[in-house]
Amino acid sequence: MRDVTVTFACYNQTAYTEACLRSMLGASDDLGQVVVVDNFSTDMTLEMLKRFPIGKVIQNKGNLGCGVAWNQGVLANQSEWTVIMNNDVLVSPGWLEELIGAAVGNGLYIASPAMVEGPNDYDFSAHALDFHKKTRHLLRPTFKHAVCMAVHQSVFERIGYFAPEPRLLGYEDTLFFAAADREGIPSGTVGASWIHHFGSVTQTAMKLERGLSTRGPLGAPNNSRLLNESWISRKITKLRKKRLQRVFKSLESEETGMTVHGLRENGMFKWV
């Protein structure tokens, strides 16, 4: 068994967290490797968590934000690999071993699984098996996402942990990825592991609590200044990323008929 911890933060949204844990059980994952950090849920989340053989449950006395919660999860076990993920995720059989195996095989120190985002109106487990057969060899280098990411312990030693500032409200991953890219840490999304993501459920709930538009950012609009980059530099980086995404989409589609990132819309898969 690999030295790996799986951790996620939760804030209310009991049903999604329970579905995530049940999908792990369905994938034969050892919940003893799981650390759940509860950011002061006020619903039935804590009662629900007691029904599962989870390795550790950390209860915060307030909503301390993603950065603090992720750090708590990472530091709880200090494993060689830590998988940080959302609670509104479903996993597929073999996802964890395939994710770490693909990371090691491709020399990655930050690796994200392929995913479908949107409503779960299809048989995800069955489709994931088919997706895996087609895409297990695919790698989209430099592309990674905070919906789910496996991070090697050496990454934290090189660039530090997540910014522990609740006011960032979801910008912690951007800062972390930017620091990793500056250090030239190999990263990417692998087609060997698949998850389903319902779509930023907790962030949407927090936006509604604050009276914000669900389409806009949750964090402060000036958070981008923390990147210490000029506006034009950020613009160029985004344009380059979009061009690369189009290149990889074309290559992946030509070879497999799909890509490592799908959207579920109107009962169909849209590959991006």
Instruction: Going residue by residue through the chain, which has 272 residues, state the pLDDT in tens, using 9 for 90 and above.
Output: 689 999 999 999 999 999 999 999 999 999 999 999 999 999 999 999 999 999 999 999 999 999 999 999 999 999 999 999 999 999 999 999 999 999 999 999 999 999 999 999 999 999 999 999 999 999 999 999 999 999 999 999 999 999 998 777 778 999 999 999 999 999 999 999 999 999 865 555 554 555 545 455 545 566 766 666 777 887 888 899 999 999 999 999 999 999 999 999 999 999 99
DSSP three-state, residue 55: coil
Measure the CA–CA gap between 202 and 189, rounded to whole angstroms: 23
Calpha distance 212→148 (Å, rounded): 25
Would you state the pLDDT for residue 222?
A: 66
3-state DSSP percent of the chain in helix, strand and coil, to 5: 45, 20, 35
Domains of the chain: 4-227 (3.90.550.10)
- pLDDT of 207 reads 46
> Would you say 121 and 197 are in contact if contact means Cβ atoms under 8 Å apart?
no
Residue 235: the pLDDT is 82
Cβ burial 34-62 (10 Å sphere, 16+ → b, else e): bbbbbbebeeebbebbeebebbbbeebee
The pTM assigned to this predicted structure is 0.92
As given in the structure block, the two tokens for residue 260 are: 């490592």
